A and B are shown apart, each in its own frame.
Chain A
Amino acid sequence: MVKTEIKLKGLTLKNPVMTASGTFGYGEEYADFVDLSELGGIIVKGTTLHHREGNPYPRMAETPMGMLNCVGLQNKGVDYFIETIYPRIRHYDTNVIVNVSGSNIDDYVAAAAKIDALDDVPAIELNVSCPNVKQGGMAFGVTCSGIEQVTKAVREVYHKHLMVKLSPNVTNIAEIALAAEAAGADSVSLINTLLGMAIDAETRKPVLSMVTGGLSGACVKPVALRMVWQVSKAVKIPVIGLGGISSATDAIEFLLAGASAIQIGTANFIDPAISGKVAKGIVEYCEKHGVEDVNELVGGLIL
């Protein structure tokens, strides 16, 4: 029997597989395809203090082995989440983690404080890396001082596991991760989407309504893997790896690169059952390779 439990500060995952924010709705959308109790956690859609309509259509452009999106954090606000969605999903037999976003520090703090009061949410993922909102989001995540400020402020009001999601759109992601760690993050998750663009040569117009958008999917995996490796060498807190993971083998690669757990994102769109398959596939890999505890794989890269 392979041990799959991952213990993070104040957050125990039954296995290292979580689903990435914005790709798994509130879990309900996937309940017909995946036994949610077989997952380490689900990270629900980005939640902001106030209702956000998001960006205009078109919000998506398909790319080779990936996609660009500029959804722009469409959500009904944290109060709606607490009143309407939380009661429906709080008793899932998995960790329900809320991704919290904002356009200024006060908004982040106010939303995080409200989530802090929810008994059945053991962690938040602080989204300082959304590339699709004009104000804030990524602005905080691309400088050490920005990430330090927002992490510190949220840390003061949030008492459970604080995961900070990092942007890959920086020169040195390890420095940013160190700044988050110094400001009190319990873990860092990476990568958010890579800023990209698509143009229609026939019309000479951008494909996306916001001109640029975030790239995700299998195509970003090598970049994500490299960043996870760099960050895991730099920080002492656990690293959660994501970016293009589409199979158990991909997940294993992230663990070997130094991730303590992983998230599955865009692959959920291609195979809505993939998260459960990856969780099972990790166990199969361990059995095949005589690994008794998944934690043995973390940082197990042989150089």
Chain B
Amino acid sequence: MKSRYLRLYVYMKAIIDFIIVEKQSFQRAALLKLKSATQLPEIAGGQFANVRVDGCDKAYLRRPISIHDVDYHNNTIDLLIQEKHEGTKKLCALPVGAKLNVVLPLGNGFTMPEKDDNILLVGGGIGIAPLLYFAKTIRKDARPCVSTGVHFLLGGRTQDDLMLLDRFRNEGDVFITTNDGSMGEKGFVTEHSLWNTKKINKIYACGPMPMMKAVAKVAREKGIWCEVSLENQMACGIGACLCCVENTKEGNLCVCKEGPVFNIERLLW
């Protein structure tokens, strides 16, 4: 623990050559633990990494991936990557020992809750990834931790989509929905019974667009403060190319630089 307090804080973005030191494969995803030989910069929950895909002619651009966990002591980060197209398939197929060139940390993370907030972290599919590290930063934050604890509401199509649940259970109470009812309550996250029983005043959501829109709708109806993390298609990841824009109340904003986390009050949906 001592070294944690002696650590020099680095707030710059960095390009780091990581080495994959651990790997866990899932049906259509992989968890990669990446180790850096140099000190990691400070990373906020909800920020992302832009990962270069080497040796894949269908992936010219980097792939933006949520940061799932960070260990400053060992200089490692965890990325939970879903196989979508050729680029992410290539990343998920990388073996332990492979090098991975990563730009991080990018974008703005979730806003830290206040002491008395009753918070709910809602994740759908691979969108569960950034919520773990965000929950950890809430607990480790210098301010008093959220008194009522962290509640996760995680949704998937089937139980296969819900990975690494033990990790989430270490950080808070976990509630689950699946579309087919194979785990937790059957239905969408917005249909879970906790909405009627739990007192919530802040929602943080990450997942597929229809899920986040549904969560935003619930939040609006109930008058709950809500942040969502978008994943518009990006080219540069640092606010230069203006490709990943979301049309907001303030006009077109880069999701990579102004987001990926937005308060729903800024959005048009």
Contact = CB atoms under 8 A, between A and B. Distances in A.
A10 interface: no
Q: Which 7 A-B pairs have the closest CB atoms?
A: A60-B243, A25-B240, A269-B236, A32-B13, A32-B12, A59-B243, A29-B240
Q: How large is the interface on B (under 10, 10 to 19, 20 to 34, 35 or more residues)?
A: 20 to 34
Interface of A: 22-25, 29-30, 32-33, 45, 53-54, 56-60, 62-67, 69, 71, 74, 217-218, 266, 268-273
A57 B246 contact: yes
A216 to B, nearest CB: 10
Contacts of B179: none
A242 B65 CA distance: 30
What's the dominant secondary structure at chain A's contact region? loop
Nearest to A74: B242
Contacts of A54: 242, 245, 252
Contacts of A69: 235, 241, 243
Nearest to A207: B233
B165 interface: no
Given A64-B60, A269-B235, A33 B240 contact: no
Nearest to B41: A32
A269 B62 contact: yes
A57 B238 CA distance: 17
A269 B252 contact: no
B60 A56 contact: no
22 contacts: A22-B242, A24-B240, A29-B236, A29-B238, A30-B240, A32-B13, A33-B13, A33-B15, A53-B252, A57-B232, A57-B246, A58-B232, A67-B61, A69-B241, A71-B243, A74-B245, A269-B61, A269-B62, A269-B240, A270-B52, A270-B60, A273-B15
A54 B59 CA distance: 26
Q: Quick one: which of A29, A217, A271 has the most chain B CB within 10 A?
A: A29
A87 B231 CA distance: 32
A217 B235 CA distance: 11
Contacts of A25: 238-240
B251 to A, nearest CB: 6
Contact of A60 (B103, B241, B257): B241
A65 B57 contact: yes
